[in-house]
Structure 1
Amino acid sequence: MGMSVTISTAEHSDAEKILKLQYLCYQGEAELYGDYAIEPLTQTLDELRAELAEGVVLVARLGQEVVGSVRGAVDDDGTARIGKLIVHPRLQRHGLGGRLLAALEGRLAAEAEAKRYRLFTGHRSQVNLRMYRKLGYEQVGAAEPVSRRLSLVHMEKSAQSAPPATYAATA
C-alpha cells in the first residue's frame, strides 16, 4: 500500500532538498505579507549548511523524498530556539508538522537539556498560530513589529509540558 513518513536527523546531503522545500513552503507566507524577500526565501545553501553543522535539523521523508523539516538549537540558558518548520503543501494538515516539532523537542530535551522551547511566526499566520497553541505554546510579550506589514509573534512552552517524543518514529 502507501509508504510511511519517517523522521530522522538531516544529512549534509539533504541541504539542497531542504532549501528547495523551504522555498516552496514559504511562498504562501511571502504572499500573505506581500514580501518575497523574507529570510527563508533568500537563505543561501551555504547558510543552510552552516545551520546543519551548528544545531539539530530533522527531516521527514516519504521514501527518498524530503517532505518536511525543522531546526533548533539550545542556547546557554536552556532555551531551545526552533525555526523553519516546513511541510510539503500536499502533506499539510495531516499532523506531520506537529510530529516534526515533537520530535525536535524530544531531541533537544534529551541531548541538550532544553528547559523551554521558543519559536516565532508572523501575526497573520493564523494556521501556524492555531497549530502552535494546540501544541501547548503561548504567546510571550507583545508582537514585535518588523515592518509595516509584518509583526512577529513569539511563542514559548516549558520543556516539562512537552510529552516525550522519539525522533525516528514512523506513521
Structure 2
Amino acid sequence: MGMSVTISAAAENDAEQILKLQYLCYQSEAELHGDYTIEPLTQTLDDLRAELGRGCVLVARLGEEVVGSVRATVDAEGTAVITGLIVHPRLRRHGLGGRLLAGIEERLAADWDAKRFRLATGRRGEGNARLYRKWGYARTGADAAGRNLTVVTLEKEAGPAGAPALVTTA
C-alpha cells in the first residue's frame, strides 16, 4: 500500500529540506528564463529560516520527506503575498500544487485575516500561470526582474469566509 501526501504547518527543522527542494524545483525556472541568479537559487539557509519565522508556511510530506511547500506573509491591509510554491518534479501534475495553494489560502484567511491573495510567476512559466488562473487569479501587472526575467503578478480576493476559489471552465 502506498503512502499518501499530507499537508501541514512547517516545523523549524523543515528548513533544510525546503531549501534543497526549492533549489531542485527552481532549476527548470532558471533554465526557462536563462537566469540562474534568481533568488530561490541563491537564498541561504539562514535567510530561509528567517523568512519561515515571519509568515505562514505549509509543507507537503510523503512519509518523512518534504515533497512540496508554500509560504506567505500578510500585510496590514490584509494582502497575503504567497511565495515559494514548490512541488517535487516527480509529483507534479497530480494536484499537489493546487492542494498547497488551497491550504495556504484557507489558513491565511482564517488565521491571518487575509482579504486578498497575491503571487507572482515568471512570464515564461505557462504551467504556473495555468494553475493560478484555475484557482481564480487574474494578472494585475508585470515587472522586469533581470535581463531575461519578467515577473507577472496575479491576484484574487479571498472568498466567503476565506474559501478558496476554484475556477472551472468548459
Greater RCO (Cα-Cα under 8 Å, separation 6 or more): 1
Residue 51 of structure 1, CA deviation: 1.2
Residue 125 of structure 1, CA deviation: 0.4
Q: Does 1:83 align with 2:83?
A: yes
Residue 94 of structure 1, CA deviation: 0.4
After TM superposition, where is structure 1 displaced by more than 3 Å over at least 4 residues in a row?
Answer: none
Residue 80 of structure 1, CA deviation: 0.2
Structure 1 residue runs without a partner (length 5+)? 166-171
What's the CA shift string for 1:111-133, capped at 9, x where partnerless?
Answer: 11100000000000000011100
Residue 164 of structure 1, CA deviation: 5.2
Residue 146 of structure 1, CA deviation: 1.8
Residue 148 of structure 1, CA deviation: 3.2
Aligned 1:37-116 pairs, distance under 5 A: 37-116=37-116
Corresponding residue for residue 129 of structure 1: 129
- Counterparts of 1:147 and 1:8, CA distance in 2: 34
Q: Does 1:25 align with 2:25?
A: yes
Corresponding residue for residue 160 of structure 1: 159
Q: Is the 8 A contact 2:33 2:148 kept in 1?
A: yes
Most deviating of 143-152 and 2-11? 143-152
- TM-score, length-scaled by structure 2: 0.93
Corresponding residue for residue 148 of structure 2: 149
- TM-score, length-scaled by structure 1: 0.93
How well do the aligned residues superpose, as a CA RMSD in angstroms? 1.3
- Counterparts of 2:145 and 2:111, CA distance in 1: 33
Corresponding residue for residue 168 of structure 1: none
Q: Is the 8 A contact 2:158 2:164 kept in 1?
A: no
- Counterparts of 1:163 and 1:91, CA distance in 2: 25
What is the total number of aligned residue pairs between the two structures?
164
Structure 2 residue runs without a partner (length 5+)? 166-170
- Counterparts of 1:96 and 1:132, CA distance in 2: 13
